Amino acid sequence: MLLALENVSSRYGAEHHIYPLSLALVPGTINVLLGTTRAGKTSLMRLMAGLDKPTTGRVLAGGADVTGVSVRERDLAMVYQQFINYPSFSVYDNIASPLRIKRLPEETIRKRVTEMAERLHITPYLQRSPAELSGGQQQRTALARALIKEAGLLLLDEPLVNLDYKLREELREELTELFSEGKTTVVYATTEPLEALQLGGHVAVLHEGRLLQHGDTLSVFNAPNSIQTARTFSDPPINLIPATVDADGVAQLGSGLAVALSPRQRQGITGHNEVILGVRAHSLRLAPRHADEIAIGAEVELAEISGSETYVHVHRGPIGLVAQLPGVHNLDIGTQCHLYCDSNDLFLFAPGGALLFAPARSEAGA
């Protein structure tokens, strides 16, 4: 389905949920809405679904204006954060319910429910009630009921947020495979940059009801158009350091730190003596890869071990940095260490936040 929003906004009294924006979904693929809590993701989905009417603007489906059309009259399905299943129905009857509303023959319903249950690995539970299922099985049931409609538009509002890490990884892979056929236009809301990258497709980055950037997911990650987009698309948040660039093209960061900018970087910041350097946490390392990397001597404030990674917080004078390191590293608070990064991994922003220079190639990790 080709769905487009034209200058839509959503306001309740003096409170703006969505500021005026235009957005055309890419049909037959995954369209990710990425933003923190209260960024406007759910509000935007409700406008797409017809659950809310925009304060201004139009919603177009296949070129037709559907702004005032009821959700019941639209070709869509939606799955929310919570597991919404009919408690008095069996799993089979939950999945079959959209087809029974369409009055399809029972034999057709049985065949399609069986196929969908197999695809989502819930065949053994078809005769159980939702109360007898685990969280992951309940969410698979809700997804199966939405998918079996074969709607032109599928809206997924953080559908995996209440599941444990292992289940989320498993279901995300299954969903990516299911949607690879290109039969449905999918909108998937998430707060997690890594999830957006894993899903691929296209991304719309939102912040406080405003659309910051829209495009191919990897392209937006590699070249965020502003500091706010880079912050939203980095977890942990991108490290930012104000700097003054001298006549020789050396960025003075303070606390005795200086970075010689390359000719391409200097060209990118033409006309700007004051810049903000950005470096993602995964671009910082405890050991250099080559001799001319930037070396930052600093003091450890905190080392957090999270699974197979360690998040190291350091400071050097007023400069604070977070490094995302693979493996387990036991670094005591107050100890001295060196962090290294390649100057080619630096983003350069104007003091107002606009992107001036992005690395030619950025690692695909948030």
Q: What are the chain's domains?
A: 3-232 (3.40.50.300), 239-357 (2.40.50.140)
> What pLDDT does 273 receive?
94
Task: Classify residue 191 by its DSSP letter.
Answer: S
Q: Round to whole Å and give the CA distance between 143 and 78.
A: 9
The rounded mean pLDDT for the chain is 92
pLDDT tens-digit series, residues 176-214? 887 877 778 999 999 999 999 999 999 999 999 999 999
pLDDT (0 to 100) of residue 362 = 47
Whether the Cβ atoms of residue 60 and residue 66 lie closer than 8 Å to each other? yes
Query: Given this model, what pLDDT does residue 1 score?
Result: 81
Identify the band that residue 5 occupies on the pLDDT scale cut at 50, 70 and 90: very high
Interatomic CA distance for residues 298 and 25, integer angstroms: 45
Owner of token pair 């177009």: 60
pLDDT for 363 beyond 50:
no
Residue 254's CB is within 10 A of a number of other CB atoms, namely 14
Q: Residue 361: its pLDDT value, please?
A: 62
- What would the pLDDT profile of 242-284 be if each residue is shown by its tens digit? 999 999 999 999 889 999 999 999 999 999 999 999 999 999 9
Q: Name the token pair of 72.
A: 């019941």
**The pairing of beta strand 210-216 with beta strand 257-260:** unpaired
CA–CA separation, 92 and 87 (whole Å):
12
Give backbone dihedrals phi and psi of 252, rounded to 5 degrees, phi first: -95, 115
CA gap 360, 121 in Å, rounded: 42
Of 197, 156, 128, the closest CA to residue 363 belongs to: 197
Phi-psi map region of 256: left, alpha, beta (phi>0 left; psi -120 to 50 alpha): left
DSSP-assigned states of every residue in 209-220: TEEEEEEEHHHH
Q: Are 156 and 82 in contact (CB under 8 A)?
A: no
pLDDT digits (tens, 9 = 90+) for 275-334: 999 999 999 999 998 888 999 999 999 999 988 999 999 999 999 999 999 999 989 999
| pLDDT tens for each residue of 109-157 | 999 999 999 988 899 999 999 999 988 889 889 989 998 998 999 999 9
0.85 surpassed by pTM: yes
Q: What tokens were used for 127?
A: 């005769």
Starting at the earlier edge strand, list the strands of the sheet with 294-306.
319-326, 309-316, 294-306, 336-341
- Side by side, the strands of the sheet bearing 210-216 are 76-79, 153-157, 185-190, 30-34, 202-207, 210-216
